[in-house]
C-alpha cells in the first residue's frame, strides 16, 4: 500500500483566497470541483481540503510511479460533505488509478491522507501536531515516535531518512510506508503498517 498526506494551516496568510492568482481555481480544480466550490457555504475550508487531497494522492502516486508529475487538475477529488470538525471521506482518481481518501478537519488545520488501497489488511497511522522547531526535523521526529509506539520499538533507534522518506530501525529499512508534511504552524505524518504489525 502506498500512502501520502498533506496538512494545511488554515490561518496561514498564504491560505487567504483573495491573495491567489485570478486563474488559480481554473488551473488547479476540475469542473466538478469548481462547481462544488461555487456551491459551498465553506469555500475556504473546501478549497484547502481539495488541495490537500490532491497533494496527498500525488505523494502516494509518486511512490508507485516515480515519473509522476504534479498536475493538480489530473487528480480529481470526490469528497463527502465536510463537517466543521471531524472526517470527510472520498477518493482521488488519477489517470484511472483510485486512491482512498480521508480528510480530517481539526479547526485550525486540514489533514488529508490518501492510500492506494491495494493492501486491505494494512493499518494506516497518522498524526498532526504543532511544529515547535524546524518543521522538517519535527515531522521526521513525529513519524519516528508514532511508528515506534505502534511497533513497540524504541523511537530513539528509529530514523526517517531520504526522499521519499524511508523508516529505518538501527540503520536498517523497515516495511513501513511513510509520508511527511508541514505547513505554517503544523507538521503531519501518515504511515502504513503491514497487517501483521
CATH number at residue 149: 3.90.470.20
- Model pLDDT for residues 155-165, shown as the tens digit of each residue: 999 999 998 89
pLDDT value of position 119: 56
What residues in the chain have per-residue pLDDT under 70?
Answer: 117-121, 195-197
In degrees and rounded to multiples of 5, residue 105 shows phi and psi of: -110, 120
The pLDDT assigned to 121 comes to 63
**Sign of the alpha-carbon dihedral angle for 194, 180, 5, 188:** positive
Cis peptide before 164 (omega within 30 of 0): yes
Check: CB of residue 176 under 8 Å from CB of residue 169. no
pLDDT at 107: 84
Render pLDDT for 65-84 as a digit per residue (tens, 0 to 9): 999 999 999 999 999 998 88
Determine the 3-state secondary structure of 32 from DSSP.
Answer: helix
Which of 130, 131, 126 shows the shortest CA–CA distance to 178? Answer: 126
The number of domains in the chain is 1
Range of the domain at 42: 3-193
Q: Rounded to whole angstroms, how far apart are CA atoms 74 and 81?
A: 21
Amino acid at each position: 500500500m502506498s500512502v501520502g498526506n498533506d496538512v494545511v494551516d488554515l490561518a496561514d496568510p498564504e491560505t487567504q483566497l483573495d491573495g491567489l492568482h485570478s486563474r488559480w481555481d481554473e488551473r488547479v480544480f476540475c469542473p466538478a470541483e469548481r462547481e462544488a466550490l461555487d456551491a459551498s457555504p465553506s469555500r475556504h475550508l473546501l478549497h484547502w481540503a481539495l488541495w490537500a487531497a490532491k497533494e496527498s494522492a500525488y505523494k502516494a502516486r509518486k511512490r508507485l510511479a516515480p515519473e509522476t508529475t504534479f498536475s493538480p487538475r489530473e487528480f480529481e477529488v470526490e469528497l463527502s460533505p465536510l463537517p466543521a470538525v471531524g472526517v470527510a471521506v472520498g477518493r482521488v482518481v488519477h489517470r484511472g488509478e483510485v486512491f482512498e481518501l480521508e480528510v480530517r478537519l481539526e479547526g485550525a488545520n486540514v489533514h488529508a491522507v490518501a492510500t492506494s488501497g491495494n493492501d486491505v489488511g494494512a493499518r494506516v497511522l497518522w498524526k498532526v501536531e504543532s511544529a515547535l522547531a524546524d518543521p522538517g526535523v519535527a515531522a521526521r521526529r513525529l513519524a519516528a515516535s508514532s511508528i515506534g509506539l505502534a511497533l513497540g520499538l524504541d523511537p530513539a533507534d528509529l530514523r526517517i531518512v531520504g526522499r521519499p522518506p524511508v523508516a529505518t530501525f538501527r540503520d536498517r529499512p523497515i516495511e513501513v510506508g511513510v509520508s511527511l508534511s508541514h505547513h505554517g504552524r503544523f507538521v503531519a505524518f501518515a504511515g502504513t503498517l503491514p497487517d501483521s504489525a
